[in-house]
Amino acid sequence: MSVQHDPVQRADFDQVMVPNYAPAAFIPVRGAGSRVWDQSGRELIDFAGGIAVNVLGHAHPALVKALTEQAGNLWHVSNVFTNEPALRLAKKLIDATFADRVFFCNSGAEANEAAFKLARRVAFDKFGEDKHEIIAATNSFHGRTLFTVSVGGQPKYSDGFGPKIQGISHIPYNDIEALKAAVSDKTCAVVLEPIQGEGGVLPADLAYLQAARELCDKHNALLVFDEVQSGMGRSGELFAYMHYDVTPDILSSAKSLGGGFPIGAMLTTSELAKHLAVGTHGTTYGGNPLACAVGEAVIDTINTPEVLAGVKTKHQRFKTKLEQIGQQYGVFSEVRGLGLLIGAVLSDAWKGKAKAILDAAAVEGVMVLQASPDVVRFAPSLVVEDADIDEGLARFERAVATLANA
């Protein structure tokens, strides 16, 4: 028997919620695979993936099973204790990556907060308080806490909240010479997204990440990769660093790690992890049994040759059709990205119209994202059916055609 709820509508948002979001005019109420239905019963194809979160689509049977089974056993105990799902998920992340140790939390911002605090603590313990500087990239995005917006290279997110955290500088992404000029013996960490997500779905050059690794080694600094958006199979490898064969010292993960259930993780080595001794850092819900049970089902499902190979195949299906749309309507100058994190860069004639394209696509029944006003972003389920790709892109093309003929 289903629970009867009080009716709500989109207008209620403007009465009860803090106005820091501007959600769409419709309210999704149900999802299955790569399809979503709103309150009116209208069906949409989901190429947004909850902003690169719904890595296995909606209501994936393995995730539903893991969550419901765990819900009948244990919800929460805090980190005064440990729990079985957290230990199982940690072991699987360690077995699949460079890491020896895992710290669980609730979000990408928390994972990055832990990564940046660890980097500074390691430098403090080993070299003293002067070695605290963090080098990050312009147009980067690392979360919404004060520390993470300060490290993120977008002043629009960090301005207006009082004094910023000091000791952070920003350099152009993919600029090796700027990186060489910035890193010094005072640098405690270089923080990079292997694929800039919010900054426009811009993959790093291989030589750039290699140079970052070499410079960090030279100056006793740590290389931190923010894989909150690029991780958990989205690039076609479990983590994007594997695509480049450049190994970080610290890695942050979230978004797809829980497939829609909130969870984040910081991965690192035993040698570095020891600097976060008992009491130095923590979080109430980190390692929550429900979240970790779902995360275990996510990694078990994704980390297979079949799924990861499928991501690369589906990337090409998206890219071929998007390039065709771009040429036909003069809308895109480039289609870039790795795996199923794809950015369609708007041409000069369409600059600034990513939001208009997003809105028109929703009218046609397909959900997409923007990554800056000049890039339309696609972050669908990694197991999206080919038929859904084709139908969704047909709807997307109709949206572009409508705007082009307006």
Q: Is 126 helix (H, G, I), strand (E, B) or coil?
A: helix
Percentages of the chain per state (helix, strand, coil), in multiples of 5: 40, 20, 40
Does 311 carry a binding-site annotation? no
Contacts of residue 259, defined as CB under 8 A and 6 or more positions apart, other chains included, come to: 53, 54, 55, 56, 60, 63, 294, 295, 297, 298
Does 293 carry a binding-site annotation? no
Does 30 carry a binding-site annotation? no
Q: Is 337 helix (H, G, I), strand (E, B) or coil?
A: strand
Does 10 carry a binding-site annotation? no
What backbone torsions phi and psi does residue 134 show, to the nearest 5 degrees?
Answer: -115, 130
Contacts of residue 231, defined as CB under 8 A and 6 or more positions apart, other chains included, come to: 238, 239, 240, 251, 253, 255, 256, 257
Determine the residue type at 146: L
Does 279 carry a binding-site annotation? no
Does 227 carry a binding-site annotation? yes
Does 284 carry a binding-site annotation? yes
Does 345 carry a binding-site annotation? no
Residue in 121, 69, 382 with CA at minimum distance from that of residue 266: 121
Does 366 carry a binding-site annotation? no
Does 187 carry a binding-site annotation? no
Own/partner contacts of 344-352, CB < 8 Å, gap of 24 or more, are 344/375, 344/376, 344/377, 344/378, 345/200, 345/374, 345/375, 346/374, 346/375, 346/376
- State the burial class of residue 23 (Cβ atoms within 10 Å of its Cβ: 0-12, 13-18, 19+): exposed
Binding residues for pyridoxal 5'-phosphate: 108-109, 141, 226-229, 284
Binding residues: 108-109, 141, 144, 226-229, 283-284
Binding residues for N(2)-acetyl-L-ornithine: 144, 283
